[in-house]
Structure 1
Amino acid sequence: MDNAQVAKRIKILCSEKGVSVAKMLNESHVTKGIIHDLEVRDRTPSTATLLKIANYFDCSVDYLLGRTNNSNSHRS
């Protein structure tokens, strides 16, 4: 998994939905520093974190991980 790619996909989804990253993280109950951790620290997010974000965007974890380019595929 490329953590920077995960961060990029999250930012794209926020932009498409018209919400800030901060608002999305707050509403999905994810730590504010996750994007920094992904991009700078190359930390791998937990399964629980990925599920919260995928649920927020109604997309699959596979999309967030870059395993598919179809954001509308069934959730993992």
Structure 2
Amino acid sequence: MRALWLRLRKSGGWWTLDMLKHHWRPTCAPHEVQHAMDALEAGGFVESRDQATNLRYGVTANCQALPGFEPFCQSEDAQ
């Protein structure tokens, strides 16, 4: 879950669940990615947006930082 959150934070932008499942396929089963995203969203660590028929996830300045990490700042959000 930490690696998934870090990837979203570092990459920026908005990722669909299908994109995340495809990216993490070698490491995680699809249900594990879904469970991780549900937990991250419930904890306020990622934000979701409903665009058309796809839910997209991202880390924004409104999100909580995982323990041990600095809060996400606006300058990172612009990258």
Q: What is the TM-score with the length of structure 2 in the denominator?
A: 0.29
Query: Which structure has greater strand proportion?
Result: 2
Query: If the length of structure 1 is used for normalisation, what is the TM-score?
Result: 0.30
Please identify which structure carries the higher helix content. 1
Q: Kindly name which structure, 1 or 2, has the bigger radius of gyration based on alpha carbons.
A: 2
